Structure 1
Amino acid sequence: MNVTDSSLPVSEQGLPLNEIFLSMAIAAFLLLIVMEGLKPYQRFDRKVAKNSVVTNTTAFLFNNVILTTLRASSLFFVAQQFSNYGVLSGLSNGPIKWVLSFLLFDLAIYVWHYASHKNEFLWRFHKIHHSDKTFNVTTGFRFHVFDLFIEIVMKCLFVIVFGVDAYVILAIELIELSFIFFHHSNLSFDKEDLLSKVIITPALHRTHHSALRSEHDSNYGIVLSIWDQLFGTRKELVPKKIGLDLIEADNFIQLFFLAFITERHVGKLLGLIPKGKK
């Protein structure tokens, strides 16, 4: 299925809604890039910032080539096959079902994000996202291809369990993408603290990218901040340092292979962790 498929819902102007959502996501990305350049919240070392943007963009291009087709086809295929069998299948297609689908999807991503920090195997790949020494819109592209692949499987399971229509899941993903761009932006604005009571803002997600594990194990939400409030994972503070202390990557090749080197490995190499008795 294509995002411009004529079977998808259309706006009053005759445009497929998913095409509108995609345009909004692209517009949001470009606008945030401009805003960051004009008035950044924090100024990072110029060389480090440049390496970040280049590495993140390269990761996006690589991941996009490998996974875009798989992501779309798998989610669409699963949704087409199982949308009539899930928990929400008994509801008539309309605003109530759409809102419930969004809430459940956002909660599922929260749980997945939490698990990616707590499970050692998942963290092996997710830590690539946290290895950025700066914080900017392109950080939202900085993911390991295996991290994204496993996430696809999780989203397919979500579609099967809850029975969400293909066009709805795509629309939700594009909305979530827009928010990923937003909360990774190097910006600050008036009343951000009030807005953060409802959605994840740059200030909240900046804490999530702290170099300290005790700080970055928090604020797991993607769109709504209520999940962190409900489950006690919300933290409001200004991190002294962004990134990971023992993990660095100055280019995409290093970024890819960092997934196969854990902090424990690095610690042993540096002599920071005492060797066990023989």
Structure 2
Amino acid sequence: MFTADNMRFLLELSRTGRIADTARRLGVDQTTVSRKISRLEKDTGIRLFDRGTSGWQLTEAGRRLLPYAESVESTLLAALDETLSASSGSLTGTVRILTPDGFGAFVLVPGLGAVRAEHPDLFTELLTSTAHDVLTGRDFDIAVTLERPSPRSVVVRKLANYDLRLYASRQYLANQKKITSRDDLRKHTIIWYVDAFLDVEPLRILDALLPECRAHIQTNNITGHYQAVKHGIGIAPLPSYIGAFDDDLVPVLNDEFLAQRTYWLVVPRELTRLARVRAITDLLYSIVKNNPELRAAR
């Protein structure tokens, strides 16, 4: 019989791509997962998954069925969300948030106190990453990204615009000759991401703004850039929402080195009706609105 429960197994297997991971997430054994998928394929009369070396992948027919599975999940989650919230008087459950490391550590985390105070039974999980394919697993409730994803199964809105500027510490600049042009930077220690692992196009800025200038110190997260600059090791592009609030740091070359970038807010379409997801979304826009170095893009 074609059931909503079997659709739940299709949805989870499409997300994990592996029987074992799906079984673990649903709290069943692997045989149950296989049986549910086989039952669904028998009921529909079509093959819904191809199994390859990289795991289980939806067929074209499976992809056509996926939005209906997401709709079933969305309805059930919304009903549960409203019931629990009404009975407890505050929001409950967990919201998993995926963000670039700079935004997560320097903007979002300091603002989580407000939602914690209002909803003490709501749990938040923050994962930070600056990579091109962070959304492919769909293992998140809300994501903030530097690249605008395809809106096929997610709702995408602009969250904020921000500036990347060059910063150095006062200590570093006091011991160096005055920097008056980009050419002068060739004689200085530049700090940036690891070239081999930087696949996010909006952050590939050194070649454009500092041609033929290779970063001497490379680390794959912005907290490392900030710490290196703060300890007087060299000069790095930093978001102004980090550099402008540290009195030890000074902009270098002002507007001659300036990159304007955008953060996008991404929510899986089936989760947009959840009260706890809406609460965190509202929090993000409130944080942006109150930060003078972020320009609201709502």
TM-score by length of 1: 0.22
More strand by share: 2
